[in-house]
């Protein structure tokens, strides 16, 4: 009889000096854990985050529902791309918590979302730069920030180029509501009233 493995404690482990082949070996070895472990790799640095807990999933889901409600109310065509791995072989690999293509389906999403519960050392924007992801959104410590890709790299902006009328503080206000259903319903009402 085998002894069950102890439960993973939420946290981040950072490994330095990991080449691409070593990263791919570690990734394959941890694949059986599914979404319980998230890997991010950039230029020899590997971060292993485990596990993804209920707070993380709640924020990710609610933020996604709010953004989707906004796009539907505004008649903005969008495609949910999900959390698939974006890789630039030998350099970078990252899996956003959610992602969206705006206007048409695309191989590279226009917006990726990262929910940060436990901070690591990697600059997550750099993971997505080789793939030229236009915007990276973060939720960290109860606050939404977004970075838009410009010629010199990612620059923090107050508003999305895809949603120039959407105030992040307004979005955050509804994300902070305790009940997800009420948050989305009240957000839709506010959009219809023109409260943004």
Report the CATH number of the 54-193 domain. Answer: 3.90.1570.10
Nearest CA to 71 out of 98, 91, 51, 52 is that of 98
Tokens of 38: 């998230």
Tens digit of each residue's pLDDT (9 = 90 or more) over 16-38: 999 999 999 998 888 776 666 88
Residues near 91 by Cβ (< 8 Å), separated by ≥ 6? 20, 42, 43, 130
Tokens of 56: 């993380």
Q: Locate the domains of the chain by residue range.
A: 11-50, 54-193
Q: What is the mean pLDDT of residues 136-163?
A: 94
Mean pLDDT score of the chain, rounded to an integer? 88
Residue 196's pLDDT is 63
What are the counts of helices (DSSP H) followed by strands (DSSP E) for the chain? 5, 11
User: What is the Cα Rg of the chain in Å?
Assistant: 18
Tens digit of each residue's pLDDT (9 = 90 or more) over 93-119: 999 999 999 999 999 999 999 998 776
Q: To which residue do tokens 């050392």 refer?
A: 121
DSSP per residue, 52-104 = --HHHHHHHHHHHHHHHHHHHHHT--EEE--SPPEEETTTEEE--SEEEEESS
Nearest CA to 42 out of 5, 16, 62, 67 is that of 16
Tell whether the model's pLDDT for residue 182 goes beyond 60: yes
Q: The pTM is what?
A: 0.85
């Amino acid at each position: 009889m085998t002894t069950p493995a102890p439960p993973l404690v939420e946290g981040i482990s950072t490994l330095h000096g990991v080449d691409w082949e070593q990263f791919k070996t570690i990734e394959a070895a941890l694949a059986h854990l599914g979404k319980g472990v998230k890997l991010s790799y950039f230029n020899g640095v590997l971060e292993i985050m485990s596990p993804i807990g209920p707070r993380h999933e709640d924020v990710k889901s609610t933020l996604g529902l709010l953004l989707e409600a906004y796009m539907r109310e505004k008649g903005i065509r969008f495609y949910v791309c999900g959390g698939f791995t974006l890789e630039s072989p030998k350099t970078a690999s990252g899996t956003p918590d959610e992602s969206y293509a705006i206007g048409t389906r695309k191989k590279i999403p226009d917006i990726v979302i990262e929910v940060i519960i436990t901070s690591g050392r990697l600059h997550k924007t750099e993971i997505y730069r080789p793939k030229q992801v236009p915007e990276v959104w973060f939720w960290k410590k109860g606050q939404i920030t977004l970075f838009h890709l410009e010629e010199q790299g990612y620059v923090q902006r107050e508003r999305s180029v895809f949603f120039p009328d959407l105030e992040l503080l307004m979005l955050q206000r509804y994300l902070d509501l305790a009940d997800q259903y009420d948050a989305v319903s009240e957000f839709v009402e506010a959009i219809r009233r023109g409260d943004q």
